[in-house]
Amino acid sequence: MSQEFRLGAFAIHWLQGGVFEVDGGSMFGVVPRVLWEKKCAGTPDNHVRLANSPMLVETPQGNVLIETGLGNKLTEKQKNIFRVRREWEILDDLAAHGLSREAISHVILTHGDFDHAGGTTMKNDTGGLELTFPSAMHYIQRQEWEDVLTPNRRSASAYWPENFEGLAEGKNLRLIDGEEEIIPGLRLVRTGGHTRGHQAVWLESGGEVALHLGDLLPMPACSNPLWITAYDNFPLDSVAAKELFLGEALDKDAWLLFYHDPAVLACRLDPDGAVREPFCAG
């Protein structure tokens, strides 16, 4: 459980959604290790350790969760494949804040990959599957949802049907067409790039601004618009989106919020992409 980050009337906490390791080449694409390891520590066998840290945003209009972590449904084989180093502990973290899973009113998924959406459903005590946050409205871009339902050959390995079971449009699922403010001060906008329907989250309260760019900016080490992951389905769209959104963030002196960085949870960036005012994990 992280310390509290204040953004006007919003209080943000990063929760423990699991920790895993991925190949450094997949994380940084064509960027050589001799360059990326200056900004991001690698393991001896060329892997990068990534947090999966859903953001609890306490607002006057309700409790919002951005991303849901790895979930508790991974098999032992999957844990070995993805080199899981810490388990999903969101419910314990919520309890430490005095919140039940029923207290979450809004769940935002930047996209449908298993490491972001795995905690949308959970195994219960009897081994059955249920929505983790049964009282929440879930938000995803319409294009992303279309691809979740009918994934292409590339995305099928990351979009797992069991992570979305029980979601139904008009009941507990709201599909976003491009851009929408879902509560005052919290706005979703499609970016594309990493996936066709990938979306970003803008937060504004009390004159303060923050931006969560999902997997377009998984950690500060990726601040160069050309440093994109090998997982990006539309790489040139990713570069263009990063240039656009990071330029807007710089103009607004916005905080950047990170899901995958184990140490830096939020920061501002200077015009050269260097970290300033880091807010770090305790």
Instruction: Report pLDDT for 179.
Output: 98
Instruction: Report pLDDT for 156.
Output: 87
Residue 282 pLDDT class (50, 70, 90 cuts): confident
pLDDT tens-digit readout, 64-116: 999 999 999 999 999 999 999 999 999 999 999 999 999 999 999 999 999 99
CA distance 177 to 140: 9
What's the CATH number where 223 sits?
3.60.15.10
Q: Work out the average pLDDT over 9-20.
A: 98
Predicted TM-score of the model (pTM)? 0.97
- Give me the domain span that covers residue 146: 5-280
Q: Residue 1 pLDDT > 70, yes or no?
A: no
Instruction: Report pLDDT for 2.
Output: 62
Domains in the chain, number: 1
Q: Residue 280 pLDDT > 90, yes or no?
A: yes
pLDDT tens-digit readout, 118-162: 999 999 999 999 999 999 999 999 999 999 999 988 888 899 999
pLDDT tens-digit readout, 20-66: 999 999 999 999 999 999 999 999 999 999 999 999 999 999 999 99
